[in-house]
Chains A and B, each alone.
Chain A
Amino acid sequence: MIAALELGLIYAVMALGVYLTFRILNFPDLTVDGSFTTGAAVAAMLITNGVPPLLATGAGFVGGMLAGLVTGLLHTKGKINGLLAGILTMIALYSINLKIMGGTANLALTMQGTLFTPLADAGILDTGLSLVILFVGAFLIKLVIDWFLHTDVGLAAQATGDNEQMVRSFGVSTDTSKILLLMLSNGLVALCGALIAQYQGAADISMGVGLILVGLASVIIGNALVGTGRGIFITSLSVIVGAVLYRLIIFLALDLNFDPNDMKLISAVIVVIALLLPRLIRRRTPRALPAEPTRSAVIAGGTQ
């Protein structure tokens, strides 16, 4: 149970990355399936070669940013559809990740010290204290994201996902905003990959498969809890909660003797339910609908 919560808090870093593209930029970015493994591969390879774990983890973050840069350039400068740009980078990363890992599909970290070794040595892992430490870590990253989104650059990036025509008319390059958010997002996803590899003691070439669903599920579950239209602080906090809840659901499913091979199917079903449920609930209780728009708004075509 505690292990599931620990995993959830680590995966929250990835979910925060997906939140940046999926919610802020309105861009379902499939790069994450590849960049997650990139982060894991880079960190694992460097740690194996004696690089300090902290530095190796940072290098994983940079690796993810480069992946995001490629997707961003394909989409903005190459004018390739966003989904396709993500898929292209994701597929290409499979080969690149194998190269990073020296041609092997699995790179074990059992012999090396990792970021989690001090915690394990002190007997903190798998206790309530480890949860506090991991939560503080995830929360600090969330605070950095909150801060970034409130800077001049961040506001322009938020508006890019909201109304491109408007931000361009105020001199913002929407291409730059998109590339920036994609880099930051994939950097976080890769950072999470680097942490997971160290936590589980191995980097695996297929560890990122289907990860986008985990990210989406976390964001959607979290946001559904607090409702839309909340401020950034609450919304990004809900993403962390969503990531933990997702892990709990998976944990309970395994506890109920579901076949581990069915986990991807379960993930997909969770996302579908999380997407459909709010709409079904709203249809049942018409009073929960927002007030009718005013006449002038209707004339103005002000539907969102």
Chain B
Amino acid sequence: MLTITDARKTFFPGTVNEKPALRDITLHLAPGDFATIIGSNGAGKSTLLNAISGTLPLDAGSIQIDGIVVNRMNDHRRARFIGRVFQDPSAGTAPSLTIQENMAIALRRGQRRGLGWGVTSARKARFRDELATLELGLENRLTAKVGLLSGGQRQALSLLMATFTQPNILLLDEHTAALDPQRAELVTRLTQSVVHQHGLTTLMVTHNMEQALRVGNRLIMMHDGQVILELDADQKKTTTVPDLLREFEKIKGATLDDRTLLS
């Protein structure tokens, strides 16, 4: 479903601040794969997500979604294939529009937008059904401005808007990091159920190792622009957080030594 081949990205090339963010990353996700990505700050996790979504052009390498090479498409064209939820709860919705208007915008993902009425009664009924699955009572507040919702409600709505049209790929960029533990847990639970329900191919960046192990069927650890560890579903079941930390220290030390030796 998603194939990334030799993706390379360097920030500020040719200057003293040169920073390789992605070093020839190759990654393949089968349909329905749910991979979590962990790694320290600056490991290239967000860069990878931005490269896939098209907000950041690659220096080299290619990205294929469902067999289509999307390298030359900009972000709003790729949005046909990709649903995204951002870290900032206010990033995924339009605050001065109502819940139903936000959902009407999300509903037209990948389709032509014409001069038809945006919020029809048929659409409203669908929005109400979809919102009911969040169990937050938002289905009774269709005409409320999204700016009035709390961070957790907004993030749940963002998740719903990103997924209810069943995109080929779902990208989650630390989408629970800005929420309090209770809300984070709620959004994590909603994520699992919606991904399972639609069988979405998903990449989820997280800082929470426990969550990374518990959620999804694959785990990818990144460091310094490279994938340094991959676990499949069986390996994930037997791995603990201390295991991950130990593994990380080991590999990180090794790559650092390499670099010091080579430079």
Contact = CB atoms under 8 A, between A and B. Distances in A.
A254 to B, nearest CB: 38
B147 interface: yes
B252 interface: no
Contacts of B150: 294, 296-297, 300, 302
Interface stretch (B6-14, B113-121, B254-262): B113-121
A101 to B, nearest CB: 35
A159 B114 CA distance: 15
A170 B105 contact: yes
A302 B90 contact: yes
Contacts of A166: 91-94
Interface in B162-195: 162, 178-180, 183
Given A153-B114, A169-B79, A171-B77, A296 B94 contact: no
Contact of A300 (B95, B113, B162, B178): B178
A171 B80 CA distance: 6
Contact of B152 (A167, A169, A296): A296
A156 interface: yes
Contacts of A169: 53, 75-76, 79, 82-84, 92, 162
B154 interface: yes
A2 to B, nearest CB: 37
A148 B117 CA distance: 9
A172 interface: yes
A162 B91 CA distance: 10
B119 A300 contact: no
Interface in A181-231: 229
Of A151, A159, A169, chain B has the most CB atoms within 10 Å of the CB of A169
A163 B95 contact: yes
A304 B91 CA distance: 11
A148 to B, nearest CB: 7
A301 interface: yes
B106 interface: yes
B109 interface: yes
Contact of A152 (B88, B93, B116): B116
Contact of B76 (A152, A163, A174, A295): A174
Given A172-B105, A173-B76, A295-B180, A151 B116 contact: yes
A117 interface: no
B84 A148 contact: no
A304 B104 CA distance: 22
A12 B75 CA distance: 38
B94 A151 contact: no
A154 B104 CA distance: 11
Given A163-B91, A304-B147, 8 more contacts: A148-B115, A151-B117, A158-B97, A163-B94, A171-B79, A171-B109, A299-B179, A299-B180
Q: Which 10 A-B pairs have the closest CB atoms?
A: A300-B151, A171-B79, A152-B113, A159-B94, A162-B94, A155-B118, A168-B76, A300-B178, A300-B89, A151-B115
Interface of A: 148, 150-156, 158-159, 162-163, 165-174, 229, 294-297, 299-302, 304
